[in-house]
Amino acid sequence: MQLAARLATALLGLVLLSGLAAFLGLRALERWLDAPGPLAEERVVQIPRGGLDAIVRTLEEAGAVEPGWALALAAWLSGRDRTLKAGEYRIAARASPRAILELLESGRVVLHRITVPEGLTTAEIHELLAAAEVLDGPLPPPGPEGTLLPETWFVPRGEPRARLLERMREAMRTTLAELWANRAPGLPYTDPVEAVVLASLVERETPLKAEQPLVAAVFVNRLKRGMRLQSDPTVVFALAGGRNRLDRPLTRKDLEVDHPFNTYRIDGLPPAPIANPGRSALAAALAPAAVDYLYFVADGTGGHAFARTLDEHNRNVARWRRMREDAARSAE
């Protein structure tokens, strides 16, 4: 009986000692989790897929945690070993192990800026996305012009190119539906696609957002009067085979090219957009300025001079030509 009692006492002591050790170990682990980490300066770390071991190994190699086994234990005890997400993370200098675990659990990955300028063709947008090294995966064949909304997009590293294209398409659909629902009365088109066509001309005529409602007004006024739009960018689009750049200036003979997009030869709008317009140009096409301008020409300063009559327009053209000739002489 005495032996049994002594054994029971010894076992109880062992249990208590084990419990005390576990308690002290957990307290030490808690203190370690909240202590500043070893990372000397902020660092971007690519956390891989493959489970907790791969994550801990990557963080150790990056110098963000030490020792790794303690982080693995803390993640396992808290259940975070199943909720940590792969991706590219910006880890702050001296980030505590707990802060790192919370960051990886949140999925707040680094986002990269991809700016798609207004007025690019769909093929040009595909070229831009193909060259973006933060994106991944193939691109589908280019779709129609005017179906992608150009703006600045923020994406995680590895974002599929096809997914970003779909985001751009959905943004164009949403934006166009919103603007179309609030369009000005009396516009000379009854289909949202026609508004996109006009917006693409506006976008290619001027990058100045303050001018776009004025340019749109000129085109709308001309459509209402049955006048041809006579937009130079449509000629460039025709001559360049669906692109918006020529390696030379336009000539008078170019304006005579027989092409369905040449608005010097056709009545009304071209059959399709010539580019992907941005929100500002779309808004201008659906709510043009309340002016009676019928003409515009470059003013030599990056903007345009607008006119109500042909005589006034001709004077603006003559002034622009003199400025161009003066600039050419000054360059000699």
pLDDT in tens, 285-323: 999 999 999 999 988 888 999 999 999 999 988 888 888
Task: Average the pLDDT over 118-129 and give the result.
Answer: 96
Q: What is the mean pLDDT of residues 262-284?
A: 97
Is the model's pLDDT at 332 over the cut of 70?
A: no
Distance CA 118, CA 38 (A): 45
Question: How confident is residue 194, by pLDDT bands cut at 50, 70 and 90?
Answer: very high
- Which among 137, 143, 158, 269 is positioned nearest to 216, based on CA atoms? 269
Residue ranges per structural domain of the chain:
35-109, 111-170, 186-331
Q: What confidence category does residue 20 fall into, taking pLDDT thresholds of 50, 70 and 90?
A: very low
DSSP string for residues in 62-119? TTS-SSHHHHHHHHHHHTGGGT---EEEEEPTT--HHHHHHHHHHT---EEEEE--TT
Q: Does domain 35-109 have CATH number 3.30.1490.480?
A: yes
| pLDDT the model gives residue 14 | 45
pLDDT at 30: 84
User: Looking at the predicted structure, is the pLDDT value of residue 4 above 70?
Assistant: no
Q: What is the mean pLDDT of the chain?
A: 89
CA dist., res. 259 & res. 201, Å (int): 16
